[in-house]
Amino acid sequence: MAYWLFKSEPNTWSWDDQVAKGAAGEQWDGVRNYLARNNMKAMKLGDFGLFCHSVNEKRIVGVVEVCSEAHPDTTTDDPRWECIDVRAVAPFPRPVSLAEIKAEPRLSELALVRQSRLSVVPVTEAEWRVICEMGGYQG
DNA sequence: GCCAACGTTGGC
DNA sequence: GCCAACGTTGGC
C-alpha cells in the first residue's frame, strides 16, 4: 500500500469534477513530466491519494483511490505518456492548506514541499497520517 | 547526444 | 503581475 498526492488546477479539473465521476473514476491525464509519470507507473490498485487544488486555492480537499493502474494517456498519441485512473473516496471535513503543511514540522520532508512543481508526488505513510489528522479525516 | 530556446509553474 | 527556475522540445 502506497500513498500519493495529486495536484490539479481547480479551473481545469476540480474535486467537484472528480466527485461527479463517481465510483467509475477518471483518468489522471495531461501529465507531461517524466518524474510524475514514473510515480504513476509505480501506483497499484487500491493505493490512496490526496487531492490537492493548486493556484489560488492551495489546499488538500479530499481523498482519492487508484482504480486503474498505468495505461496510455488517451489525450495524446505519444506512447511515452501514461496515466492511471482515480476515483473520489471522501472529502476532507476540514481542507488542509499548503501554508498549514509548511508550518507542520512533521511534513517538512514532504515531496510536495521540496518539489513544488511536480503534479504527482509520493507521500509516506507517516505523512499521510499527519495530513489526514489535520484534515479531520478518519482513514 | 548536447545545448539553446521556449513554455509553464510557483514564489514573492 | 512580474520574474526566476525548472523541464521539455527541437535544432544542429
For residue A127, CA distances in Å to A31, A58, A132 come to 24, 18, 9
Please state, in angstroms and rounded to a whole number, the distance separating the CA atoms of residues A96 and A58.
9
For A33-81, the pLDDT digits (tens) are 999 999 999 999 999 999 999 888 899 999 999 999 999 999 888 889 9
pTM score of the predicted model = 0.94
Å from A117 (CA) to B8 (C1')?
Answer: 10
User: Whats the size of chain A, residue-wise?
Assistant: 139
Alpha helices in A43-115 (DSSP H): 98-103, 111-114
Q: Which residues of A72-81 are buried (b: 16+ CB within 10 A; e: fewer)?
A: ebeeeeeeeb
Chain B nucleotides reached by a protein CB under 7 Å? 9-11
What percentage of chain A carries pLDDT values higher than 70? 100
Using 50, 70 and 90 to split pLDDT, how confident is the model at A120?
A: very high
Residue A105, number of CB atoms within 10 A of its CB: 7
Angle formed at CA A112 by CA A41 and CA A59, multiple of 5 degrees: 110
Using 50, 70 and 90 to split pLDDT, how confident is the model at A116?
A: confident
For the cut 80, the answer to whether the pLDDT of residue A139 exceeds it is no
- Which residues lie near nucleic chain C, judged by CB under 7 A? A 32-35, 78, 115, 117-118
